[in-house]
């Protein structure tokens, strides 16, 4: 019963501490059953309109999303195997329900009836977009297929959800399992004190002597960048790039190779069932990019700009390494000697700036940026239930003190927590005759936790990550669209959803902002002017190589999803690397086996979106460069035309409203130092 299951209770804030693994399936089945009864009644309506047909359906979707988004969060951040197993068992149930819903011909015809009615022209743009999107999604789910093929489609969807979850679980288990145990203090040579201290705590946690370096980002990244011991760097590198594969120290234990092949096979079958040329053709139906030729041409344009620079950068790095006694660079040398070269050229490193970026100072400065841009205030509230002691809760308020949005921060790496950084849309903005539902988000990162004698200190790369995820949060939380299906990030094309997040990154490089977000953890002094200058000079360091790496991922993703026949995934990756890379990784590299973005995230046939959206964000920020980084009119225009509009209108139309023209690539190349 609802009173016994916290996931079934109406809530404005999830009751995290009350939610247990045993609650997941009963809650899901109860909501689905309730929804189905209501849908069976709604499809009988002869003359459907917004109020008696569309709005009730939106309420059903929103209730289910609110429950499942909370469960998905806890699945990603809790070290609870029982919870994960119950989550996994529910995936086929959810997949079957959503697919049957979008294959319901009666429902589809009612939506068509509303679309074709005379009143449709009187709907606002958000309502029209919502209905058009729903009709598109019906078609993309096979509503027009004969029943036998519908059943095949449902089976494919169910199996894909299971495989994607298994892929991510394998990556998590492989990441958590392996670690490097060091007993000889001499082998710590080169490592910064923060990394050594963290490794010492990790060893203590495991009841071991010495130091422990895991494959989680706060341990792996400093080690591969700073450890002088080349043999140990190779061990760390090999363990990291062979996670969940047939190679490396845990070869075969959590191997994702067969899962990858099966996922690609099922995606091809799904696209074929619906009559598309291939999975890329299917995926691009919901994107800004017109077709695969558009994407390929775009990536080729970027590659042509980046490759000459990358070749020069690699020659420079090789020459520098040779002076250090390295005749041939290996993959585990690149981060190490790149960081040394960066220090040689600019006299600054990521570790040098850490003491000036204690987490609380960065957050205070970030919130001040938001205040100066949009007139909004961010306030912490300690009287809200959280899912882990590390978690913080905040509210974004307007100048009258009214809450516009709410968010949680889960900032530190820990065992059992999914790697990387992301924003989850826990509750969507909604406005009805009953009032306004305030949106809720969770922003998750994997930064180094505080040490006994130091606060959490961020590298500048981590500062950028925080600004990035906060940009996603603003997109979700500041929307003014009344309908959840197209409010916030919902309904935004996947290749445009990174626009606000990448836009926010730009402020983390500005001299004025660097002073605002920094404060030495011992003295409180802001980042010195010389360091600010040097840090900004590093922005274009190895920009060609970094962009080519993104293009390698994007082209690999695009290539394995093109065509109608199976591909050899490793061979395809090797071919892509031969085409675009200036440095070829070792044969044992199995990057694809932990490429969660495309095999367990939402980026399949869409990894190009990062570069595509960066064109939009760089061009959008260029207007701030022209007018002033805190120009109130420009900020208000971005708020009104991009952040508040969510997915309610065509992205290109919204961009034109803000920028006054179509996007151009010039600003991106200039920001990366890749112009002639």
Catalytic residues: 469
Q: Residue 100 class from Cβ within 10 Å (0-12 exposed, 13-18 middle, 19+ buried)? A: middle
Q: Are 447 and 464 in contact (CB under 8 A)?
A: no
CB neighbourhood size of 224 (10 A): 22
Q: Are 97 and 154 in contact (CB under 8 A)?
A: no
CB neighbourhood size of 25 (10 A): 15
Q: Are 484 and 431 in contact (CB under 8 A)?
A: no
CB neighbourhood size of 106 (10 A): 12
Instruction: Give me the helix-helix angle, 529-537 and 334-346, nearest 10°.
Output: 130
Tokens in use for 399? 């100048």
DSSP state letters, 419-487: SS-EEEEEE--EEETTEEEPPEEEEEEEEPPPBTTB--B--HHHHHHHHHHHHHHHHHHS---SSGGGS
Three-state SS at 46: coil
> Can you tell me the distance from the alpha carbon of 420 to that of 596, in angstroms, rounded to the nearest whole number?
10
Tokens in use for 236? 């760390």
CB neighbourhood size of 122 (10 A): 10
The residue assigned the tokens 């509009």 is 645
Host H or E run for residue 403? strand 403-412
The C-alpha R_g of the chain, in whole angstroms, comes to: 25
CA dihedral 83, 88, 92, 94 (to 10 degrees): 40
Q: Residue 372 class from Cβ within 10 Å (0-12 exposed, 13-18 middle, 19+ buried)? A: middle
- 3-class secondary structure for 201-223? HHHHHCCCCCEEEECCHHHHHHH
HSE (side-chain half, CA atoms, 13 Å) at 607:
23
> Can you tell me the distance from the alpha carbon of 517 to that of 508, in angstroms, rounded to the nearest whole number?
8
State how far the alpha carbon of 476 is from the alpha carbons of 410, 429, 645, in Å. 17, 8, 10
Q: Residue 148 class from Cβ within 10 Å (0-12 exposed, 13-18 middle, 19+ buried)? A: exposed
Encode burial over 176-187: b for 16+ CB neighbours within 10 A, e otherwise.
bebbbebeeeeb
């Amino acid at each position: 019963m609802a009173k016994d299951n916290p996931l079934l209770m109406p809530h404005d804030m999830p009751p995290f501490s009350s939610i247990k693994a045993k609650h997941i399936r009963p809650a899901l089945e109860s909501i689905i059953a309730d929804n189905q009864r209501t849908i069976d009644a709604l499809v009988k309506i002869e003359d459907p309109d917004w109020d008696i047909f569309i709005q009730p359906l939106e309420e059903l979707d929103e209730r289910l999303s609110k429950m499942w988004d909370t469960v998905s969060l806890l699945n990603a951040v809790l070290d609870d195997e029982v919870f994960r197993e119950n989550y996994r068992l529910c995936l086929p149930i959810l997949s079957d329900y959503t697919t049957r819903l979008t294959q319901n011909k009666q429902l589809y015809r009612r939506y068509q009836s509303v679309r074709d009615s005379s009143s449709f022209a009187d709907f606002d743009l958000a309502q029209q977009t919502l209905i058009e999107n729903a009709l598109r999604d019906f078609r993309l789910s096979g509503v027009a297929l004969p029943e036998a093929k519908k059943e095949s489609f449902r089976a494919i969807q169910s199996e894909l959800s299971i495989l994607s979850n298994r892929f991510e679980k394998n990556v998590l288990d492989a990441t958590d399992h392996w670690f490097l145990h060091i007993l000889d203090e001499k082998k710590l040579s080169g490592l910064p004190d923060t990394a050594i201290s963290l490794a010492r705590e990790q060893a203590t946690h495991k009841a071991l002597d010495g130091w422990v370096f895991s494959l989680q980002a706060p341990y792996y990244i400093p080690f591969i960048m700073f450890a002088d011991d080349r043999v140990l760097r190779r061990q760390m590198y090999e363990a990291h790039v062979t996670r969940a594969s047939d190679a490396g120290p845990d070869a075969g234990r959590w191997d994702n190779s067969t899962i990858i092949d099966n996922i690609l096979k099922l995606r091809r079958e799904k696209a074929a069932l619906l009559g598309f040329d291939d999975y890329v053709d299917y995926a691009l139906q919901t994107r800004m990019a017109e077709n695969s030729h558009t994407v390929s041409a775009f990536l080729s344009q970027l590659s042509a700009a980046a490759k000459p620079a990358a070749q020069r950068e690699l020659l420079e790095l090789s020459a520098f390494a040779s002076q250090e006694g390295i005749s041939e660079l290996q993959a585990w040398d690149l981060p190490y000697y790149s960081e040394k070269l960066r220090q040689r050229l600019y006299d600054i490193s990521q570790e040098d700036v850490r003491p000036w970026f204690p987490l609380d100072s960065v957050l205070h400065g970030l919130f001040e940026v938001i205040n100066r841009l949009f007139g909004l205030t961010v306030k912490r509230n300690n009287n809200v239930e959280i899912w882990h002691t590390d978690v913080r809760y905040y509210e974004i308020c307007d100048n009258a003190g009214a809450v516009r949005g709410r968010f949680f921060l889960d900032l530190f790496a820990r065992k059992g927590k999914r790697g990387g950084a992301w924003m989850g849309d826990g509750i969507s903005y909604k406005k009805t005759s009953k009032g306004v539902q305030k949106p809720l988000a969770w922003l998750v990162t994997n930064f180094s936790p505080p040490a006994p004698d130091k606060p959490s200190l961020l590298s500048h790369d981590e500062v950028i990550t925080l600004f990035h995820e906060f940009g996603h949060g603003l997109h979700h939380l500041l929307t003014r669209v009344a309908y959840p299906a197209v409010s916030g990030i919902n309904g935004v094309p996947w290749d445009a959803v990174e626009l606000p997040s990448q836009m926010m990154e730009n402020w983390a490089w500005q001299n004025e902002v660097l002073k605002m977000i920094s404060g030495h953890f011992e003295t409180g002094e802001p980042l010195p002017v010389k360091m600010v200058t040097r840090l900004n000079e590093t922005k274009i360091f190895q920009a060609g190589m970094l962009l080519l790496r993104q293009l390698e991922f994007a082209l690999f993703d695009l290539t394995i999803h093109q065509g109608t026949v199976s591909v050899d995934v490793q061979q395809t990756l090797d071919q892509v690397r031969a085409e675009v890379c200036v440095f070829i990784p070792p044969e044992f590299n199995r990057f694809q086996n932990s490429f969660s973005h495309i095999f367990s995230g939402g980026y399949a046939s869409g990894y190009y979106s990062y570069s595509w959206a960066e064109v939009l964000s760089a061009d959008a920020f260029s207007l701030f460069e022209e007018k002033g980084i805190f120009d109130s009119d420009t900020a208000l225009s971005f708020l009104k035309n991009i952040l508040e509009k969510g997915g309610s209108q065509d992205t290109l139309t919204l961009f034109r409203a803000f920028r006054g023209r179509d996007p151009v690539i010039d600003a991106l190349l200039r920001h990366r130092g890749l112009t002639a």
